[in-house]
Amino acid sequence: MKNWIDGALQGEAEAYEQLMTKFRGMALAVAYQKLEDMFLAEDAVQEAFTEAFANLSKLDNPDAFPGWFKVIVERQCYRQMRRKQHVTVPVMEIQDLFQEEDQAHNPEEQALKGEVHRLLRESISILPSSMQLAVELFYFQGYSLKEMSEYLGVNVSALKKRLYDARSRLRRSLPVADVISVFTDLYEGGKGMLHIMNGDHAADRLRQSGIQGEILVWRELYTFGPLTREMRNEKARSERAQYLEQHLGIPQTEYLRIKELEQTLQAFHQYKEIVLWFEYDLYDQAMLSYLLHYFKEQDLRDTKLNLLCIDAYPDIEHFRGLGQLTPSQIGRLSGTWHVMGAEEIQAGSEFWTAYASSDIQDHKDYLLKNTSVLPFAHTAFKAHLSRLPSVSNGLGVIEQSTLEAVREGVDSPYPLFKHVGNHLHILGMGDLEYWAHLKRMTEEPHALLQLNGVQAFPDFQQQHDEFRHSVLSLTDLGVQVLNGEADWTLLRKDKSWIGGLQIGEGNDTPWRWDTVNETVVIL
């Protein structure tokens, strides 16, 4: 939350979008509750965001944003009420139009589902407004009780009571079987289905899409820092937490919350189905392989494990990830996942076993495997190995691409990140990870790049305008390495990791990446 607000204060468009995505659904629910008109509610929410962003600097405590923003939304609603009301189309009529369009795919199923939803909506309209809002946010939009509590300023126990009372009242107006069916199979906190994905932005889009189920955002980045095959080892985890804090600025306490995610994962038997939402790039494929490695060791019993993994989407020219999609576009992916068989799960586990290995031979051997059962695995694994020091100059593909871009005139940090990120989209590299690589390239005594216009490389979590407008240039060593006249890996002695492989600090690194033949060479 704090990072988003700090970014918004500094004029970062992505931070604005993240805040809007996070709170838009809840704000619309509050506004519609008061205005009973979706078009007016949309206007109120848009004006509320404008007012909030104009006054962000007045907010002393970033954690107070949810409640503070709710007050602004309510104030905009009251302003709307005082204005002249124009004739608008009722929101339910619009929903009916979309339902009619969807019925072309499966008329009988859509008609039945639409009727049940209509009955449920009508019954909910007789509930007190506080219960209506709780039902809307929890069952229909999929927000967690914690998120609702922060936004509404109501404690979790009170929200649970409202939901319990709402269910009790609904059972009086609907057949019991209907209520149980709708809330258990479609709405009730995702008891029937668990969606696992990376990225809060994509998760918010999924939540708004209408696809039902609980969402687990897996907050890890297996493309950076020390790894072991068994990531739950306490000593290894502690060392990883320290490394990520030192090099990415992620507080150890924040990283170690991965334990909470693992507790949810360990309780997977409560779900009838699990859907893994991932993409083609290395970032996602490494995360997917870790999860499949975990599930391979479990008795799934009656739980179905599904996979949705894509590298393209209609009408999106340069698809990079699910976060690009609108809620309606993500909604169209519903049901396009497939049930994973033992062969796929085994293949995912083999990816992880090789990727997290400290033995270079395991990495070499994996490239020779037939991995076609997971169509993006081979390309992603090859991209992983391309980060190794090359035989020509000791640069990995990230350093090589960066120096080439600076030589071509892309010399400002943010355009450089965009340029390299697009060129190496197969890596799925985030900004924090890239800044760590860029910082490493500017560090003496073997700096490849010089950063001008800023005294020191800033804290990764709080970028400054000076850094944004700074200029990068090649050092003499950078030119020599880029021309193949020096080997950067032989000069540097610091420690880093490529998957489970350690480079530097006492490790002679007797293996390199052959960029021409795309294979590992052992010197």
Higher pLDDT, 492 or 85: 492
The set of residues, in sequence order, having a beta carbon less than 8 Å from that of 173 and lying 6+ positions away, is: 123, 126
Q: Measure the CA–CA gap between 307 and 339, rounded to whole angstroms.
A: 6
Q: What is the pLDDT of residue 100?
A: 43
Query: Three-state DSSP class for 378?
Result: helix
Residue range 417-474, pLDDT digits in tens = 999 999 999 999 999 999 999 999 999 999 999 999 988 887 765 557 788 889 999 9
Higher pLDDT, 41 or 53: 41
Q: Measure the CA–CA gap between 43 and 35, rounded to whole angstroms.
A: 11
The answer to whether the CB of 242 falls within 8 A of the CB of 248 is no
Q: What is the pLDDT of residue 114?
A: 58
Residue 29 reports pLDDT greater than 90: no
Residue range 319-361, pLDDT digits in tens = 999 999 998 899 888 878 899 999 999 999 999 999 999 999 9
- Mean pLDDT value across the chain: 83
- In this structure, the chain runs to a length of 523
Residue range 236-291, pLDDT digits in tens = 999 999 999 999 999 999 999 999 999 999 999 989 899 999 999 999 999 999 99
- As a whole-number percent, the residues of the chain with pLDDT over 70 amount to 81
Q: Which residue has the tokens 């009242």?
A: 169
Query: Three-state DSSP class for 496?
Result: strand
Element (H, E) at 381: helix 377-385
Residue range 353-412, pLDDT digits in tens = 999 999 999 999 999 999 999 999 999 999 999 999 999 999 999 999 999 999 999 999
Between 377-385 and 360-367, two packed helices, what is the crossing angle to 10 degrees? 140
Residue 83 reports pLDDT greater than 60: no
Whether the bond into 445 is cis, omega within 30 of 0: yes
Pick the range with the lowest mean pLDDT from 32-46, 192-206, 255-269, 420-434.
32-46
Residue 5 reports pLDDT greater than 90: no
* pLDDT-based confidence at residue 112 (cuts at 50, 70, 90): low
Half-sphere exposure of 479 (CA within 13 A, CB side): 5
Pick the range with the lowest mean pLDDT from 39-43, 200-204, 379-383.
39-43
Half-sphere exposure of 488 (CA within 13 A, CB side): 33
Q: What is the pLDDT of residue 178?
A: 43
The answer to whether the CB of 319 falls within 8 A of the CB of 313 is yes
* pLDDT-based confidence at residue 179 (cuts at 50, 70, 90): very low
The answer to whether the CB of 330 falls within 8 A of the CB of 270 is no
Q: Measure the CA–CA gap between 335 and 262, rounded to whole angstroms.
A: 26
Element (H, E) at 16: helix 13-35
Pick the range with the lowest mean pLDDT from 28-32, 86-90, 223-227, 428-432.
86-90
Which pTM value belongs to this model?
0.66
Residue 116 reports pLDDT greater than 90: no
Q: What is the pLDDT of residue 408?
A: 97
Please report the DSSP string for 186-232 in residue order.
Answer: IISTTTTEEEEES-HHHHHHHHHTT--SEEEE----TTSS---SSTT
Higher pLDDT, 322 or 11: 322
Copy the structure tokens of residue 277. 């939402």
Q: What is the pLDDT of residue 30?
A: 82
Taking the mean position of all CA atoms in its chain, how far away is CA 20? Answer: 15
Determine the residue type at 235: K
Copy the structure tokens of residue 66. 């949810």
The answer to whether the CB of 25 falls within 8 A of the CB of 45 is no
Most confident of 45-49, 114-118, 492-496: 492-496
Query: Three-state DSSP class for 516?
Result: coil
Query: How far lies 281's CA from each of 222, 231, 325, in Å?
Result: 12, 21, 17
**In this structure, what are the phi and psi dihedrals at residue 426, rounded to the nearest 5 degrees?**
-65, -20
Q: What is the pLDDT of residue 109?
A: 54
The answer to whether the CB of 448 falls within 8 A of the CB of 441 is yes
Query: Three-state DSSP class for 334?
Result: coil
